[in-house]
Chain A
Amino acid sequence: MVAYWIFALVSLLMVLAALVAVTNRNLVRATMGLVLVLFGNAVLFVLLEAYFLAVAQVIIYIGAIAILIVFAIMLTRHVGDAWGPAFHRAWAWAVVVAGGLAVGLLFWIAHWPAADGKAKSPVDPQYTKLLGKALVAPDGYVIPFEVASALLLAALIGAIYVAWGGRRVKGPYPQRSEEKEA
């Protein structure tokens, strides 16, 4: 029963935090909203008995991604405290599309028979260990795993390159006045 309450509370909090994250014009606060959502997600993972993923969620999302966003905001100093409008002019279209999406999804979930089903079996207590083995097993998931690693590495190098790129000073060599003499 506690689980129900926790679920309800956390879900509500997550939706509210998500709304903060997408509406607040202060990007730091929006990021805080995002962090809250991410944290709520981790809680839900625990409820779903996916402990490894819950830990990964906290470490990767909150520990890395959210921090990265905060850093990015701080690096571009006055973006963080910009006081312009939060949305662009065509935001109404976004509402329409998002609304349509919401209606569609809700409809779909409501009409899906499996939506109110229960879990068929409990989770193996050794599950995390098995998962680890499956990830590196040749007949298991080693290829997706490696592809993901390669993707990460590529993204890392690309990110460094892109962020580093503009540092060179462009334009002609500035001449000193003494060299202009004959």
Chain B
Amino acid sequence: MIPLGAYLMVSAALFVIGAFGALARKSAVAILIGLELMFNAALLNAVAFWRYLHPQGFDGTVFAIVILAVAAAEVAVGLALFIAVYRRFGTAEADEIALLRG
């Protein structure tokens, strides 16, 4: 059977790649894609831990379901914001929008 560490490695790789994307990309959609990658990494982690450490329980699965729901919500709101921002500023480049500047 595939060791848990393999899953964790894949997950870590996805997470790091997603983090890089979220940090380095210009486009807001691309940042969102990066974030989705990180969510997936977390999801994979959760499922892997459930399967290997506690297959009789429900915690891991429920955790995964909640992550799914949060991801869906996040993406919906994020994209809505994206569209609204695009309408208002005519651009969706995250580094050009600095309204929160102190």
Checking A60, A109, A154, A159 against B9 with a beta-carbon cut-off of 8 angstroms, the contacting residue is A109
Docked Cα-Cα span, A166 to B66, in Å, equals 31
A15 touches B72 (CB 8 A): no
Min CB gap B34→A, angstroms: 6
In the complex, residue of chain A having the shortest beta-carbon distance to the beta carbon of B27: A27
Q: Known contacts being A88-B24, A151-B73, is A50 close to B47, with CB within 8 Å?
A: yes
In the complex, residue of chain A having the shortest beta-carbon distance to the beta carbon of B86: A76
Interface residues of B in 16-61 (CB under 8 A from A): 16-21, 23-27, 29-30, 32-34, 36-37, 40, 43-44, 47-48, 50-53, 55-56, 58, 61
Interface of B is mostly: helix
Task: Collect the chain B residues with CB atoms within 8 Å of residue A91's CB.
Answer: 23-24
B77 touches A118 (CB 8 A): no
Checking A56, A69, A94 against B29 with a beta-carbon cut-off of 8 angstroms, the contacting residue is A69
Q: Tell me the number of A-to-B contacts counted with CB atoms below 8 Å.
A: 258
Interface string of B67-102 (1 = CB under 8 A from A): 011111111110111111011100011110000000
Min CB gap A112→B, angstroms: 8
Docked Cα-Cα span, A45 to B40, in Å, equals 11
Checking B6, B7, B30, B88 against A166 with a beta-carbon cut-off of 8 angstroms, the contacting residue is B88
B26 touches A41 (CB 8 A): no
Min CB gap B101→A, angstroms: 16
Min CB gap B42→A, angstroms: 11
Docked Cα-Cα span, A11 to B2, in Å, equals 12
B26 touches A102 (CB 8 A): no
Q: Show the binding face of B for A, using Cβ within 8 Å.
A: 1-10, 12-21, 23-27, 29-30, 32-34, 36-37, 40, 43-44, 47-48, 50-53, 55-56, 58, 61-62, 64-66, 68-77, 79-84, 86-88, 92-95
Q: Show the binding face of A for B, using Cβ within 8 Å.
A: 3-4, 7, 11, 14-15, 18-19, 21-23, 27, 30-31, 33-34, 37-38, 41, 44-45, 47-50, 52-53, 56-57, 60-61, 64-65, 68-69, 71-73, 75-76, 79, 82, 84-88, 90-91, 93-95, 97-99, 101-102, 105-106, 109-110, 112, 114-124, 130-131, 134-135, 140-141, 144-145, 148-149, 151-152, 154-156, 158-163, 165-166
